[in-house]
């Protein structure tokens, strides 16, 4: 018995606990985020052992065999493991029951030897991560071994988490304004992955912790990632079909702010619901990630080299965390979704992922090296007026705060460059699949993206349409030519009447202005990207959708118009930019957000199930057999009589996602899009 226990446990730093046997964290996530902490979770150790051996291993986890009275909570989880093929129909499990139990949770009655060896189930008493400033010091420790390196992480109520893992050399000193260098693990045998890393340098919501969103601080040395997984493979050579699909998240923030450690993107809910491995990563922002001086020495696109370095880390190490390196889907929202579009277009990212989900991304965002240089040079020349290598050396010596402050007014974007982004992404898509990383594609939008993107630029009670349009110009939502021609075109009318002559009526100046900005910056570019991709068959498959339901982030709800009150779903509200993030990640509970109506739960369930299905198979239509195996009845109802259609040149149909009844819609208003394109500069 002692020998078996020693085989199941690895030599770890003090306090760390881990099993060398494959171990799954079981939690039947029904989506009710207010009750996550009340529902039990457990640890399924897949390697058979005798009962006393099982008790010893559970005790090493500072747990015990699952109480007999709690077995019924995990019947569905056991049956899902059978669906996966990790347990066979005749497998028995050791729990605290006097005899082994079947996968249906009943005691075995057929002359079962008390000396038999079976997989076993331990309790999981680890706490729920339900606040941003969680103190992780008392959480149970676990480890994995990947690439001969031991990564020590944490076990919580919903997932195994590994935080603050370096994936590149620190981008400081002479590495500033240089492409990311791969993490040098030559002399590394152990990584402490129990604490989130600082966010990259920035202004805004994640500059320090003034918004209670970033207790980890900020630093130029910020190239770290986090891994959330429901499964630890241990020392076993797990077959590839038992590894989990990987979802690699790229955060948004206008290329200037944000962090992969934002707990809006905490992986606990999505990993437990969708049985996927999630990786969230930092990348350099603002001047540090995007500066280009068009001189052959400072080319830009350092942010992209960071994401690619992180994806290469995934290829090298993620198998040790239970993830399948051959089934990676990148996904991102806003600037993160635009970054996905650029990665699809980058030859440097070839072979690193098999799918892409772009949320509120338009058709990417990019500029030229010369344009960024023209913006930046006046701000930098007072500090460094040399050229070439001498200017680079000078910029590398400057305090990071000087660079950040000096460039605060510059809007940085990705740039076209011969190494990372050889042309505009849509221009490459237009040439066909051989000119891009041709991967399965999914794209989603919110109907009123620019209500929140324009913040308080517009007032809901505005009555002068032209004044509203003029206010959209400084932020780049429309240009002067568009502002001058929109009202005379007659395509956007302020009226309560319905028109059938191509005009669209809006009940208020505010609604019309929000929609125009949304069309110009999100709907029209997104629709063009999808239609060009379909016309050239650039991707193996494409699925495009609108979310018709939204839930505003707790700190990103201007005028309190991006949600509806509890119990009042008929209250008009805007489905705003970023109001899909809680729905994808299910992290309402970390920010104390209430359930407005039960349909919030069911819609979130369906979204997480579709994202997980796309990660597994490239198809967001969730397999009925999978939903039955998991007991996901509300999503079964969601798909009753409906399928998300593939977007093709002959069938340009978008899914309208809503609960209880999803539907279909056409591409955005093409007449509006054509007109906006025809009159812009």
What CA–CA distance (Å, rounded) separates 120 from 462?
Answer: 64
Instruction: Say whether both 439 and 451 belong to one domain.
Output: no
What CA–CA distance (Å, rounded) separates 451 from 11?
Answer: 54
Q: Which domain holds residue 616?
A: 447-677
Task: Report the percent of the chain where pLDDT is more than 70.
Answer: 96
Is 10 part of any domain? no
What CA–CA distance (Å, rounded) separates 493 from 486?
Answer: 10
Instruction: Say whether both 600 and 459 belong to one domain.
Output: yes
Instruction: Say whether both 248 and 307 belong to one domain.
Output: yes
Instruction: Say whether both 461 and 347 belong to one domain.
Output: no
Number of separate domains in the chain: 3
Task: Report the percent of the chain where pLDDT is more than 90.
Answer: 91
Instruction: Say whether both 29 and 146 belong to one domain.
Output: no
What CA–CA distance (Å, rounded) separates 270 from 604?
Answer: 10
Instruction: Say whether both 594 and 653 belong to one domain.
Output: yes
CATH number at residue 27: 3.10.100
Average pLDDT over residues 6-13: 35
pLDDT at 359: 98
pLDDT tens-digit map of 18-62 = 457 899 999 999 999 999 999 999 999 999 999 999 999 999 999
113 pLDDT above the threshold of 90: no
Of the residues 428, 443, 458, which one is the last residue of a structural domain?
443
Tokens of 292: 């280009």
Instruction: Say whether both 311 and 218 belong to one domain.
Output: yes
Q: How far apart are the first and last CA of the chain?
A: 77
Is 131 part of any domain? no
- Quick check: 380 and 428 in contact, CB under 8 A? no
Backbone angles phi, psi at 614, to 5 degrees: -60, -40
pLDDT tens-digit map of 506-562 = 999 999 999 999 999 999 999 999 999 999 999 999 999 999 999 999 999 999 999
Is 126 part of any domain? no
Instruction: Say whether both 150 and 252 belong to one domain.
Output: yes
- pTM of this structure: 0.96
Instruction: Say whether both 333 and 362 belong to one domain.
Output: yes
Total number of residues shown for the chain: 681
Helix (H) or strand (E) holding 603: helix 598-617
Instruction: Say whether both 429 and 457 belong to one domain.
Output: no
169 pLDDT above the threshold of 90: yes
Average pLDDT over residues 232-247: 93
What CA–CA distance (Å, rounded) separates 231 from 222?
Answer: 27
pLDDT at 614: 98
Please state, rounded to an integer, the average pLDDT across all residues of the chain. 94
Is 435 part of any domain? yes
pLDDT tens-digit map of 463-512 = 999 999 999 999 999 999 999 999 999 999 998 877 766 688 999 999 99
Backbone angles phi, psi at 400, to 5 degrees: -60, -35
What CA–CA distance (Å, rounded) separates 249 from 10?
Answer: 30
Average pLDDT over residues 627-656: 97
Of the residues 121, 152, 170, which one is the last residue of a structural domain?
121
Instruction: Say whether both 395 and 495 belong to one domain.
Output: no
Is 16 part of any domain? no
Instruction: Say whether both 222 and 149 belong to one domain.
Output: yes
């Amino acid at each position: 018995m002692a020998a078996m226990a020693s085989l199941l446990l690895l030599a770890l730093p003090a306090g760390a606990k881990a099993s060398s046997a494959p171990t799954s964290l079981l939690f039947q996530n029904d989506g009710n985020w207010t009750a996550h902490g009340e529902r039990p979770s457990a640890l399924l150790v897949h390697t058979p052992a005798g009962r006393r051996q099982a008790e010893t291993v559970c005790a090493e986890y500072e747990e015990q065999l699952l109480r007999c009275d709690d077995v019924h909570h995990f019947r569905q989880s056991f049956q899902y493991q059978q669906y996966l093929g990790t347990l066979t129909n005749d497998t028995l499990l050791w729990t605290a029951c006097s005899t082994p139990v079947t996968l249906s949770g009943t005691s075995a009655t057929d002359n079962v030897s008390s000396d038999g060896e079976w997989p076993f189930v331990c309790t999981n008493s680890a706490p729920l991560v339900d606040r941003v400033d969680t103190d992780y010091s008392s959480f149970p420790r676990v480890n994995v071994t990947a690439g001969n390196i031991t990564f020590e992480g944490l076990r919580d109520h919903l997932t195994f988490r590994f935080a603050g893992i370096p994936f590149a050399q620190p981008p400081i000193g002479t590495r500033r304004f240089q492409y990311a260098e791969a993490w040098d693990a030559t002399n590394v045998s152990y990584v402490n992955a129990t604490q989130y890393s600082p966010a990259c340098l920035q202004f805004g919501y994640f500059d320090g912790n003034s918004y209670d969103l970033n207790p980890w601080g900020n630093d130029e040395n910020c190239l770290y990632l986090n891994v959330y997984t429901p499964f630890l493979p241990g020392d076993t050579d797990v077959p590839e079909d038992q590894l989990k699909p990987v979802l690699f998240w790229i955060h948004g923030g206008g290329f200037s702010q944000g962090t992969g450690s934002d707990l809006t993107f905490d992986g606990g809910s999505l990993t437990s619901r969708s049985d996927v491995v999630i990786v969230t990563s930092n990348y350099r922002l603002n001047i540090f990630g995007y500066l280009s001086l068009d001189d052959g020495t400072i080319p830009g696109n350092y942010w992209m080299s960071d994401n690619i370095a992180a994806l290469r880390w995934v290829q090298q190490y993620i198998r040790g965390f239970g993830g399948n390196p051959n089934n990676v889907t990148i996904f991102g929202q806003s600037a993160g979704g635009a970054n996905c579009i650029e990665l699809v277009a980058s030859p440097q990212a070839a072979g690193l992922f098999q799918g892409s989900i772009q949320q509120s991304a338009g058709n990417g965002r990019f500029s030229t090296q010369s344009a960024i240089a023209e913006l930046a040079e006046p701000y930098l020349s007072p500090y460094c007026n040399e050229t070439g290598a001498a200017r680079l050396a000078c910029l590398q010596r400057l305090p990071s705060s000087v660079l950040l402050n000096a460039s605060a007014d510059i809007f940085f974007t990705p740039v076209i460059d011969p190494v990372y982004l050889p042309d505009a992404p849509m221009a490459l898509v237009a040439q066909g699949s051989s000119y891009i990383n041709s991967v399965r594609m999914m794209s989603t939008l919110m109907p009123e993206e620019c209500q929140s993107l324009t913040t308080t630029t517009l007032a809901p009670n505005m009555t002068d349409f032209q004044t509203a349009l003029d206010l959209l110009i400084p932020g780049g939502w429309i240009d002067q030519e568009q502002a001058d021609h929109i009202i005379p075109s007659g395509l956007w009318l302020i009226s309560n009447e319905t028109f059938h002559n191509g005009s669209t009526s809006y009940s208020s100046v505010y609604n019309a202005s929000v929609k125009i900005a949304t069309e110009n910056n999100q709907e029209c570019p997104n629709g063009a990207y999808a239609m060009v991709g379909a016309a050239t068959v650039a991707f193996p498959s494409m699925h495009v959708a609108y979310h018709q339901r939204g839930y505003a982030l707790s700190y990103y709800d201007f005028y309190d118009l991006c949600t509806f009150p509890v119990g009042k779903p008929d209250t008009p509200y805007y489905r705003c930019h970023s109001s899909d993030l809680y729905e994808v990640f299910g992290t309402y509970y970390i920010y104390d957000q209430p359930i407005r109506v039960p349909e919030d739960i069911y819609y979130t369930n369906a979204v997480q199930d579709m994202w997980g299905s796309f990660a597994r198979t490239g198809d967001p239509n969730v397999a009925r057999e999978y939903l039955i195996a998991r007991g996901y009845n509300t999503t079964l109802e969601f798909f009753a009589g409906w399928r998300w259609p593939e977007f093709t040149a002959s069938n340009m149909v978008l899914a309208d996602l809503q609960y209880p009844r999803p539907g279909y819609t056409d591409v955005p208003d093409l007449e509006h899009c054509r007109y906006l394109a025809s009159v812009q500069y």
